Structure 1
Amino acid sequence: MNLKPLSIACVAALSLATSACDSSSECAEPLYGGRATDEAWRSLVDVKQRPANSSLAVTVVSPTEGELYATDAAPPRWEWTSPLRASVDRPRSGALALESSPRSSRSFSAWLGELLVPTAHAHLPPFTGDIYWVEVSTPGARCPVAQVLTSDLSWQLDATTWAELARSGQSFSVQVTSAYLQENRVTEGPYTLATPRTFRRGAP
């Protein structure tokens, strides 16, 4: 059997599927906080194209809407509260069980890519729990200028990240994507802010 035509067809299909993927997969990985892992991040990337849902989105405590940070301000600590954390101990069953299968939580491109090039075994324990992907963007940018994936309800920005934001512009938006994962599989969410939070940095 000649496998070459089949191989070409598979690569072509993968190329077409990948071209339709969310651009998040083309951006750099985020920083990681708490117990977050790169496998958990890839699971979120994989479901980011689902219809927007803000029903269980976080409530951002800081930054406040339109907050202005002085040029020489110290790196801030951003915080939020989450319905997912409040309900972390309740049973997850019923309709949610339908989302817990590997096939339902993976995109076609991820499934096809794994078929062609099997992934290595996870190097960290599978993540289970509520998780938060915070992305800081500037107008018109394709990728976030700063981002973190964390299992915590806060992000203490480091000096390097804060300096990078100072170089990137003066106006920013903050989007927080939250989800509940069961062994790296998204079983609840993702949930996003209906309106991203905005903040500004003082002119240099």
Structure 2
Amino acid sequence: MTPRQRILGSVCASALLLLSTACGKAEEPTSKCGEPLYGGSATDEAWMTMVDSQTKPMDSSRAVTVMSPAEGETLAASSPPPQLSWTSPLRASLERDTPSRLARASRRSSRGPLAWLEELLVPTAEAHLPPFTGDIYLVQLTVPGSECPIEVLTSELSWQMDAASWNQVAGANGQNLSLQVTSAYLQENRLKEGPYRLETPRTFRRAAALP
């Protein structure tokens, strides 16, 4: 076998491997309640990673600290949609060692010699947004009487509730709402740290409207 034939054989074998990987890719995780709202630079690919992480054991060691609303707080029925906010150990550690994290990410994302072939067989247009790297938060607000929680995926440390969600909360008629925040650190959409969840969800309510 000539050197040229060996090179062509290696390229063909790599092509077959990439094709079999693309065609035999496992079905992506989904949620019966559909996609969440998005905030910051969160993406649907990052959301799928977070959906998959929900099957992992709960770890509250580095969970967020909810700042607002306060535990047991009652918000007036006439008040505007509130802002939910929290702090996170993940954000604090990320700010301390961002340079080293970025350097590692750059090394891992360097393109290999067959990158051109991978782009030919599995076009990058399929990933319509850049892979997400950073701390991310899945906010789930359970509303009594609603089959699905209000879900938000965000890269921010807060979420300004929209009018539609606030109206959905009104349907609870003054009953307790349950707020859970799941946090994680993703490296190019892959779970690297977490998930971390509140050991006890935060409860608050919107007062029932007067008749």
Q: Give the distance between the partners of 2:145 and 2:193, measured in 1 at CA.
A: 30
Count of residues in correspondence between the two structures: 159
Which residue, 59, 82, 96 being the options, matches 2:88? 82
C-alpha separation in 1, matches of 2:133 and 2:172: 34
DSSP 3-state at the match of 2:127: coil
Equivalent of 1:26, from 27, 32, 37? 32
Q: Which residue of 1 aligns with 2:140?
A: 135
| Partner Cα distance (1:63, 1:38) in 2 | 27
1:180-195 alignment runs, 5 A limit: 180-195=185-200
Unpaired runs of at least 5, structure 1 = 1-13, 93-99, 101-119
TM-score, L = length of structure 2: 0.69
- 2: CA distance, partners of 1:124 / 1:72: 39
Pairwise CA RMSD of aligned residues? 2.4
Aligned counterparts of 1:172 and 1:46: Cα–Cα separation in 2: 25
Q: Which residue identity is paired with 1:77? A: Q
Unpaired segments ≥5 residues, structure 2: 1-25, 102-107, 109-124
8 Å contact kept, 1:175–1:192: yes
Cα drift, residue 147 of structure 1: 1.6
Correspondence list, 1:48-197, <5 A: 48-89=54-95, 90=97, 91=100, 121-139=126-144, 142-144=147-149, 146-170=150-174, 171-197=176-202
Q: Distance in 2 between matches of 1:123 and 1:176?
A: 27
**Displacement after TM superposition at 1:142 (Å):** 4.8
Residue pair 2:145, 2:171 contacting (<8 A) in 1 also: no
The answer on whether the counterparts of 1:138 and 1:169 sit within 8 Å (CA) in structure 2 is no
Partner amino acid, structure 2, of 1:159: A
**How far is 1:167 from its partner?**
2.1
2:94 aligned partner, one-letter code: V
> Does structure 2 conserve the Cα–Cα contact (< 8 Å) formed by 1:173 and 1:198?
yes
Q: Distance in 2 between matches of 1:132 and 1:185?
A: 14
Secondary structure of residue in 2 paired with 1:88: helix
| 1:143 shift after superposition | 2.3
SS at 1:135 equivalent: strand
Amino acid at match of 2:207: G
TM-score relative to the length of structure 1: 0.71
2-structure distance, mates of 1:202, 1:139? 13
SS at match of 1:161: helix
> Is 1:62–1:79's contact at 8 Å kept on the other side of the alignment?
yes
Q: Identity of counterpart residues, as a percentage?
A: 59
Cα separation, 2, equivalents of 1:194 and 1:83: 15
- By how many angstroms is 1:59 displaced? 0.3
1:146-165 CA distances to partner (integer Å, 9 max, x unpaired)? 12110000101111211111
